[in-house]
Amino acid sequence: MKRRIKILCVVGARPNFIKIAPLFEEFKKRKTIKPVLVHTGQHYDFEMSKVFFQELKIPKPNYNLEVGSGTHAWQTAKIMEKLEPVILKEKPDLVIVVGDVNSTLAGALTAAKLNIPVAHIEAGLRSFDMSMPEEINRLLTDHISDYLFVTESSGVRNLLNENISKKKIYFVGNIMIDTLVKLKTQIQKSKILEKLNLKKKAYAVLTLHRPENVDKKERFLEILAALKEIQKIIKIVWPIHLRTKKQIKEFKFDKFIKGLKNLILIKPLGYIEMINLMENSKFMITDSGGIQEETTFLKVPCLTFRKNTERPVTVEIGTNTLCTTGKMLVREANNILKEKSKKGCIPKYWDGKSATRIVNILVREIKLYD
């Protein structure tokens, strides 16, 4: 009898959890797969990690490397050091990594160095901006992976342009949307609007955490100046990322922010509350990658405060608009309030079936050697 395929999945940060959940759902349906889950511990606070495991019903990790925060080199190296003995012990047939965080690159590199095949989910995205830590992670991970699962057609083009063999590339759609589709009913039942005393479409939501926006005082100030204007015309709810909270303290922006009466700071939300808040908002302001995609799927206008995006489909056919300056942010927010926003379409294969496509391919392609 053929033995089961052992697949070791590495996750570490908030967006990873949303991408791995549908895969574990799919594994449950297949008797031929034995999954092993490793949490690197890159994110460790309840609201950045555990709440996602609970809500998305992700099984308890078989291993938690408890790495925690640190510099990029330290964090990446620490994950590799702690992951290597786990991979050596488990001897998986495949290692799966998702997204573009430090845990993604560390997982892929550790496996590749041990000659274990690697699958990268959300491959091929490129911002062409090497000052972003995520771009380095994406590029390197893709070049040492054996199975490249792509969310949008630009990803296929990018990989081919980098001379990656066509045989390794699979356009399977967006696995994050699988989670959204699956939890739709629960999302609709969320009471977050009542909790925050908000009315549908009468508020905007803000998220901000990228180093290029919150680690540089000037840039952060530019955003705050824009927010000062926007909150005069619409209430803004801001679930605040822990690194951003730290930066506000560091730059002594607390007092200025407190002065903005229509800007409401709240703790980071779990998945279900966050998507409900997003879906019922007039628009989003963000620098997150995932939110650009979720708003496109939900057809909510999204203003992305960045110079570029590795997810061009959200701008080309979705509801996303890149805002490079504070002035542009204010102008676009005004346009949305005048109902001048784009309507948007849902990209190909963002249909809730990506995990099934991925697992079908893996079961077909993985050869077992004993």
Tell me which stretch binds ligand UD1 (CB under 6 A): 11-19, 83-91, 274-282, 311-319. Answer: 11-19
By CB under 6 A, residue 243 contacts ligand UD1: yes
**Residues from 131 through 150 that contact ligand UD1 (CB under 6 A):** 133-134
* Largest interatomic CA distance in the chain: 69
By CB under 6 A, residue 45 contacts ligand UD1: yes
For ligand UD1, the binding residue among 34, 48, 139, 348 (CB under 6 A) is 48
By CB under 6 A, residue 107 contacts ligand UD1: no
Tell me which stretch binds ligand UD1 (CB under 6 A): 7-15, 175-183, 256-264, 341-349. Answer: 7-15
The active-site residue out of 39, 43, 120, 209 is 209
Binding-site residue total for ligand UD1 (CB under 6 A)?
18
| Residue 25 Cβ vs ligand UD1, minimum distance, rounded to whole Å | 22
| Residue 296 Cβ vs ligand UD1, minimum distance, rounded to whole Å | 17
Give bridge partners of residue 8 from the DSSP assignment. 36, 95
| Residue 8 Cβ vs ligand UD1, minimum distance, rounded to whole Å | 19
- Angstrom distances, CA of residue 258 to CA of 60, 135, 248, 261, 265: 39, 34, 11, 7, 9
Q: Select 83 or 234, whichever has its Cβ closest to ligand UD1.
A: 83
Tell me which stretch binds ligand UD1 (CB under 6 A): 13-21, 255-263, 324-332, 352-360. Answer: 13-21
By CB under 6 A, residue 282 contacts ligand UD1: no
Q: Tell me if residue 216 falls in helix, strand or coil.
A: coil
By CB under 6 A, residue 50 contacts ligand UD1: no
Q: Select 213 or 334, whichever has its Cβ closest to ligand UD1.
A: 213
For ligand UD1, the binding residue among 242, 266, 328, 337 (CB under 6 A) is 242
For ligand UD1, the binding residue among 5, 7, 21, 43 (CB under 6 A) is 43
Residue with tokens 């676009």: 332
Q: Which amino acid would we find at residue 60?
A: K
Tell me which stretch binds ligand UD1 (CB under 6 A): 164-172, 196-204, 242-250, 308-316. Answer: 242-250
- Angstrom distances, CA of residue 128 to CA of 92, 141, 166, 296: 33, 15, 21, 22
Tell me which stretch binds ligand UD1 (CB under 6 A): 36-44, 170-178, 224-232, 295-303. Answer: 36-44
d(CA 5, CA 368) in angstroms, rounded, equals: 7
Our answer to whether residue 209 is catalytic in this structure is yes
> Would you call 361 exposed, middle or buried from its count of C-beta atoms within 10 A (0-12, 13-18, 19+)?
middle
Q: Select 14 or 311, whichever has its Cβ closest to ligand UD1.
A: 14
Length of the chain: 370
Within 10 A of 130 (CB to CB), how many other CB atoms are there?
9
SS (H, E, C) 138-198: HHHHHHCCCEEEECCHHHHHHHHHCCCCHHHEEECCCHHHHHHHHCHHHHHHCCHHHHHCC
SS (H, E, C) 77-114: HHHHHHHHHHHHHHCCCEEEEECCCHHHHHHHHHHHHC
Q: Select 42 or 309, whichever has its Cβ closest to ligand UD1.
A: 42
Question: Per residue in 202-231, is it b (16+ CB within 10 Å) or e — as a string?
Answer: ebbbbbbbbbebbbeeebbebbbebbbebb
Q: Select 69 or 186, whichever has its Cβ closest to ligand UD1.
A: 69
| Residue 236 Cβ vs ligand UD1, minimum distance, rounded to whole Å | 20
For ligand UD1, the binding residue among 34, 157, 219, 246 (CB under 6 A) is 246
| Site of interaction with ligand UD1 (CB under 6 A) | 13-15, 42-45, 48, 69, 100-102, 133-134, 209, 242-243, 246
- What amino acid positions are annotated as catalytic residues? 209
